[in-house]
Structure 1
Amino acid sequence: MLALLTAVMLAAGSVSAQTAAAPMARPDGTAQDRPNMTPEQRADFQTQRLIKQLSLSTEQTPKVRAIALAQAQEMQNLRTKYATADTRQGMGQELKSAQEKTDAQLKDVLTADQYTRYTQLRENRMDKHQNKRGSKLKVKS
C-alpha cells in the first residue's frame, strides 16, 4: 500500500513539475506568445484571424494573405532598422505610413461592411494596447 501511495505521489509530482516548467499560452493569442514568428507565420496568423472575424470569402482570403505578408515583411524590416533604443523614436512615422498603406490595400479587397468591422476591431486592439501601456506606466511611477 505504501509503495502504491509513493508511486502515485511521484507521478503527480512529475506531472505538476512538467506543467509548471512549460509556459502557459494566453488564450487571446497575444503577440507575447509569438515573438519569433516568421513573416509568413505572422501573415497566416493574421489571415486566419480575419477569416474568423470578417467572414472572408475564398476569393478574398489569398488577397488578404498577400497584403498581410507584405505588411509582416515590412514590419520585420522596420524592427531590424530600428533595433536599438536610440533609433526607435524615428520608427513611429514609418509604422503609421505602413499601416495606412495596408489599410488602403484592404479597403480595395474587403466589402464596405467588412472594412468598417476591420477598422473597429483595429481601434479596439489599439485602445486595449494603450490601456495596458498606460497602466504599466502608472505602476512604474
Structure 2
Amino acid sequence: MHWRYGCWLELQSQIKPGVGSTIQPAYLHSKDSLLMKKMLAILAVAFLTAGTATAQTATTPTTPGARQGQRDGGRMNMTPEQHADRQAQRLTKQLGLSADQTAQVRAIALAEAQETKTMRANASASTDRQAAMQQMKATREKYDAQLNAVLTPAQATKYTEMRDQKMGKRKDTMKGGKMKAKMKS
C-alpha cells in the first residue's frame, strides 16, 4: 500500500459519516493550490502588461512639436502674458529683483514675447529663414539692452553670465547631442 493512500485512509477513518465528509488529503489540496496560484499570477501579469501598453500609447504625442512643448514645460502653448510672467518670476528669483524691477522686467518681457510671436507667425509664411533668424537676433539684442538698463551692474553681470551659459548648453546640444543625430537622418 502506498503511504499517501494510507494517510488518506487514516483521515477517512477519523471522519464521522455525514459530518464534513468532503475533506481531502493535504497533498491533493496543495497541488490544486499551486496550480491556481500560477494561473492567477499569469493572469495578473497579462493584465498589467496590457494596461501599461495601453497607457503608453495614449500619452505618446504624435508630432515632434508636441514633444518639444511637453519637454519645455509647455512653453510652445504659452500666451505672451504667461511667457512674460514666467520670465519675470525666473529673473526675480535668480537675480533678486525688487518689486519695481520685476514690474519693468515683466513689461519688457511682454513686449518681447508679443513681437517674437508676430515674427514667428510671419517667419512660418516666409521662405527666407536666414533673414528671419537675423530679425529674431536683433529683437533679442534690443530687449536685452532694455533689460540691462533696468538691472543693477551686479545683476546685469549675473544675467549676462546666465544667458551665456544657457547659450553654451544649446550650442553643445547642437554640436554633439540629439540635434546632430537628427540632422544626419
Residue 137 of structure 1 deviates from its aligned partner by 2.1
Corresponding residue SS for 2:77: coil
Q: How many residues align?
A: 137
TM-score between the two structures when normalised by the length of structure 1: 0.76
- Corresponding residue for 1:140? 184
More divergent stretch after superposition (100-109 vs 129-138):
129-138
Corresponding residue SS for 1:59: helix
CA deviations on 1:9-51 (whole Å, 9 max, x unpaired) are 969976896587446xxxxx96463211111111111111111
**Counterparts of 2:102 and 2:52 in 1: how far apart (Å)?**
41
Q: 1:58 to 1:12 in 2, by over 3 A?
A: farther
- Corresponding residue for 1:43? 84
In structure 2, the gaps of 5 or more residues are 1-36, 61-69
**Counterparts of 1:30 and 1:44 in 2: how far apart (Å)?**
19
Q: 1:71 aligns with which of 100, 109, 112?
A: 112
TM-score between the two structures when normalised by the length of structure 2: 0.60
- Alignment map for 1:1-141 (pairs within 5 Å): 21-22=58-59, 31=72, 33-84=74-125, 86-135=127-176, 136-137=179-180, 140=184
Corresponding residue SS for 2:78: coil
Bigger Rg, structure 1 or 2: 2
Q: What is the RMSD of the two structures over their aligned residues, measured on CA atoms? A: 3.1
Q: Which has the higher contact order (CA 8 A, sep 6+)?
A: 1
Tell me which stretches of 4 or more aligned residues in structure 1 moved more than 4 Å. 9-23
In structure 1, the gaps of 5 or more residues are 24-28
**Counterparts of 1:63 and 1:73 in 2: how far apart (Å)?**
16
